[in-house]
Chain A
Amino acid sequence: QVPPFKEECVKDAYPPPASLLVKEYIINLDLAPEERWAELVKEKAELIKNILAKFKEFVRDWGQEAAKLIELVDEKFGKFDDTLPEPFRGELLGIAKYSNLNLGEVVLYNIFYEIFTV
């Protein structure tokens, strides 16, 4: 099939199977920023590591220059957090702590949008 794609307006997609329903978590804003995401990121740490690894692999495929970008992220982006406003700085520090991720990687993950508007 080639674009432009012709629509198929469905009328029976709802409700989808319960297995696709997304689970809810509470983020307590009364906690210190560093503690707010602890429960969630402990549970999802491996999945976050997985997506960052895939992203780095993708960037490395662009060549040596692009690979340098990854080194920059790993080595320098950790210092980048000093420039971020509160409470976000504290929240990112907490996410790095409870997920055992490099702070630079957590910062990268949180500025994905700005990177992908290129």
Chain B
Amino acid sequence: CTSIVAEDPSGNLYHARNLDFGLFIGWDIRNETWEITEALKPLIVNLNFQRSGQTVFKSVNYAGYVGILTAVKPKTFTLSMDERFNKDGGFIGIIEWLLGIRTGSWMGFLTRNVMENSTSYSDARDVLSNTEMLAPAYFILGGTKSGEGCVITRDREKTIDIWEMKSAGGWYILETNYDHWTKPLFLDDRRTPANNCMRNMTQTNVSVKGIFNVLSSKPVLNKLTTYTAVMEVSTGHLETYLANCTDPCFPW
């Protein structure tokens, strides 16, 4: 996955992401695609969660999955989640849950609760930072005001780090699937290409179009990418496209 929060010169905030899923789950030799990735694509839907006929938040989901991976609460905050791999991963959390140790929260349920109930960027940040979980994760959060963007690096029990947009370079913050203070695995470095494309774009060109172009640049876009979504918090706009990485395209 690749998530970006970026600010245009007037302080308007955009939040975008590629969702990559399906590595090593069945390579289709004939079509040169990942089987699970392709099977997920027709399940992708935009959801408008409403109460009393009013939008509470909008999200991008795989139909039948009730948790939240990408969402915007209009005029309030935006959220995306990137997978964080760890040997103390979700499997241990599931076993603990089965054994009756149920102090942690399922990732998707936590993000859904945040989208439904949190009323501000800082409130969402507090809940995502301070709730015990069953699996590690990266939460990428965008606000409404200039400089409001951060990446929360989570272990199951606690927050390891909160990385602010200000210290990430000022006008954008970008997360893939590695702790920002370590180098990504050289076999799977989408961070350097994405950063290069963001710098090429420059802050002047931050817009739905500009960020979509960055996320469409290979290998940021690759054969594991199921969708690209772009959100604008000030308007609550959410635009999602199925990924289409034409050959030659990197497998991940």
Contact = CB atoms under 8 A, between A and B. Distances in A.
Mutual binders A and B: yes
B66 interface: yes
B64 A21 contact: no
Contacts of B40: 51
B212 A13 contact: yes
Interface in B80-107: 83-86, 89-91, 93-94, 97-98, 102, 106-107
Interface of A: 1, 3-16, 20-30, 37, 40-41, 43-44, 47-48, 50-51, 54-55, 57-58, 80, 83-85, 88, 91-92, 95, 99, 106, 109-118
A25 B64 contact: no
Interface stretch (B5-13, B45-53, B119-127, B161-169): B45-53
A54 B188 CA distance: 25
A113 B67 contact: yes
A114 B94 contact: yes
B212 A14 contact: yes
B221 to A, nearest CB: 8
Q: Binding site of B, secondary structure by majority: helix, strand, loop or mixed?
A: mixed
A40 B45 CA distance: 9
B146 to A, nearest CB: 24
Nearest to A33: B66
Interface in B187-228: 187-189, 192-194, 196-197, 200-201, 208-209, 212-214, 216-220, 227
A55 B36 contact: yes
B102 A111 contact: no
Contacts of A16: 212, 216, 241, 244
Contacts of A111: 90, 94, 106, 108
B181 interface: no
A57 B28 CA distance: 14
Given A4-B192, A110-B108, A117 B65 contact: no
B91 A115 contact: yes
12 contacts: A11-B213, A20-B241, A20-B244, A22-B227, A24-B45, A24-B47, A28-B50, A37-B66, A47-B39, A58-B26, A114-B94, A117-B85
The residue among B36, B58, B60 with the most chain A CB atoms within 10 A of its own CB is: B36
Contact of B83 (A20, A55, A113): A113
B90 A85 contact: no
B187 to A, nearest CB: 5
Contacts of A92: 66
B49 to A, nearest CB: 5
B66 A110 contact: yes
A41 B64 contact: yes
Nearest to B205: A11
A54 B91 contact: no
A92 B248 CA distance: 40
Contacts of A25: 45-48
Q: Which 3 A-B pairs have the closest CB atoms?
A: A114-B90, A7-B193, A13-B216
A47 B63 contact: yes
A4 B196 CA distance: 14
Contacts of B227: 22
B219 A118 contact: no
Nearest to B69: A113
A11 B213 CA distance: 6
Given A14-B209, A23-B45, A91 B66 contact: yes
Interface in B28-73: 35-36, 39-40, 42-52, 56, 58, 60, 63-67
